[in-house]
Chain A
Amino acid sequence: MNRALALNPQAVEVPASQDALLEVSNLTLRRGKAVVLDGVSLALHSGETLGLIGESGAGKSTLAMALIGLLRAPEVQLEGSMRFRGTELVTLREADYRRLRGNKIGLIFQDATAALNPCFTVGEQIAEPLKRHLGLSKWDRRERAAELMHSVGIPEPALRLDAYPHELSGGMQQRVMIAIALACNPELLLADEPTSALDVTIQAQIMELILDRVRALNSSAVFVLHDLALGAQVCDRIAVMYAGQIVEEGPSERVLAAPLHPYTQGLKSCVVELGSSTLVPIPGQIPPLNAMPAGCRFAPRCPRAQAICGEQRPVAETRDGRQIACWFID
């Protein structure tokens, strides 16, 4: 089991994994008094894709923003460790972090329309990391930007280089966003709900495109998604998040086929399936950050909850090749 992963919030030791590209251990993110991420641990290897799954407010996007260093001190307080190729990111100097952003670590935003600057052409925006990180000349940048646009399936890139974002459709804008994120062949690609702002008809195309490019570049990717089934379909592994904690983590097929954590089970039964007439919602909602239960954060909504759940944090257990943080695993 080299896809080692530590889930235990109290864990001191992270299972040794020499070749991990990204290793997050016991990461806690505080915004003032609110604990937004609570003891998150995970590891990602080269060429692997991981899906962060959960409902709104679970901390998935926050984790992605923390990984690329757009959410760090003094805005928030970070504890624990995030290692990228052995480099500690939590304490990394801002100037050094900047050299990773858009270079070794790329980020695809949810809403490309909002994430592209309306006052600059798409060519200029794709060329920016090429200048910043690779130091390409103006002519080379243009050429490479056109190549990138071609690689993400934008027809007639030479003509579209000088287009402004508003002149492109939503799908084309997201393709531009992908081209920007992949401009410097990043080793790690973060995709924050890359298709949820798009029409259903092109969601699959864009997802396929991202996976295709990630494989072609032999990069690793972290997808932030709210759809368990989609996550299981596109990712090698899945980490289910609830209220800033990872509750279940493991290989996609196994998590989707037989979820062990009650929250994952609830997520699965929320999915509408063809031919099934039952749709079971999870009662209640994520508690506000200033009123988190002391024990398991899911306890107030959990059908299996007992007295201990509200008092003590469950220790993550390895079961069936996965990590589950629950007192009463089936």
Chain B
Amino acid sequence: MFQAVSAKLAQTLLVLLIVSAASFTFLKLAPGDPVSIMLGSDYSKTSYDQLTHELGLDQPVVFQYGHWLANFVRGDWGISYITNQDIFELAVMQALPVTLTLAALSLLIALLIGIPTGVLAALYRNSWIDVLATTLAIGGNAFPSFYLGIILIWVFGVDLGWFPVLGFVAPWEDFWQGLWHLALPAVTLGAWYVGLIARITRSSLLEVLGQPYILAAKARGEPGWRVVWVHGMRNVLMPLVTVIGLQLGGMLRGAVMTEVVFALPGLGMMVTTAVLNREYIVVQAGIMLTGLLFVAVNLAVDQTYQFLDPRLRRR
């Protein structure tokens, strides 16, 4: 057990190292010069060389990477050229909680809509309910989130005025205000996930309901709702969690779009702004955090399997 977990952790660290090296190299190759951006349009050769030296940009890339990695591990992620903010503070304390809250709320909405939709579609297979659910599911999956976001802002934010169109209020500071501000972004991002969850629930449940143990549960006199929601859904959790974990990348990609559309100060917004400003070190921090998040979720999903399927438990 301990061995398996430590092997997994070593693997995870290796993945993160590769991510950091690759992204560091690519960002070095990207066009744009941070020194000239920082200095503005009017500067002398001396001040340019001096700043380049101060930032360590005159050293070989390998040294720069080693230097950056050592500092990164210590939590010293550097200072933003533009806002003079500590990047660790900006990324981990400010942007990350926003993105996590958005993602969690979107997932919750997607589960609350997607699972019942999938179950209904499976129970009334090939009926109009199934067709409607499948159409909505595929539609939600195919509809671009930036476009859905704009439509939601237009209808519910501007026209009806029910929801604020931008800004972020932390739910842990003011719960209802926070939810109110996050409602439209969470629906936008969640819509993409609803389709996925509904489709997986439908197909997995159909497979499970054909199993003899479902018939056996009925033969014990279990009522229909219990057969579906307890005996059936308990066996659907495993494929569901797998897909949710695997599609986290898509979720983070969607979060970038959604944050930009709704001007939420999350990781996506941070990286987008940094890219436009050619602030490599902020982009790098964003990439590392995203990678870390992705790897952490996969690790968590792996651990959940044993909890979800008794057959995978080690004794």
Contact = CB atoms under 8 A, between A and B. Distances in A.
Contacts of B219: 68, 70, 101-102, 106-107, 109
Contacts of B222: 98, 102, 128, 132
Contacts of B311: 118, 164, 166
Contact of B221 (A115, A117, A120, A132): A132
Nearest to A113: B212
Interface string B205-246: 000000111011111111100000001001100000000000
B212 A101 contact: no
Interface in B90-149: none
Nearest to B234: A119
B309 interface: yes
Interface string A1-38: 00000000000000000000000000000000000000
Given A117-B234, A118-B235, A129 B221 contact: yes
A115 B218 CA distance: 11
Given A103-B221, A128-B222, A109 B216 contact: yes
Contacts of A120: 231, 234
B310 A164 contact: yes
A101 B220 CA distance: 6
A128 B212 contact: no
Contacts of A114: 211-213
Contact of A119 (B218, B223, B309): B309
Interface centre among A116, A120, A121, A133 (most CB of B within 10 A): A120
A111 B212 contact: yes
A132 B231 CA distance: 15
Given A117-B234, A164-B311, A102 B215 contact: no
A98 B221 contact: yes
Contacts of B221: 98-103, 129, 132-133
Given A109-B212, A111-B212, A128-B222, A117 B310 contact: no
A78 interface: no
A115 B212 contact: yes
A180 interface: yes
Contacts of B223: 98
Interface in A86-101: 98-101
Interface centre among B220, B231, B234 (most CB of A within 10 A): B220
Nearest to A94: B224
A98 to B, nearest CB: 5
A64 B67 CA distance: 75
Given A70-B215, A70-B219, A128-B222, 16 more contacts: A98-B223, A102-B219, A106-B219, A109-B212, A114-B213, A117-B213, A117-B217, A118-B235, A118-B309, A119-B235, A129-B221, A132-B222, A133-B221, A177-B216, A180-B216, A180-B220
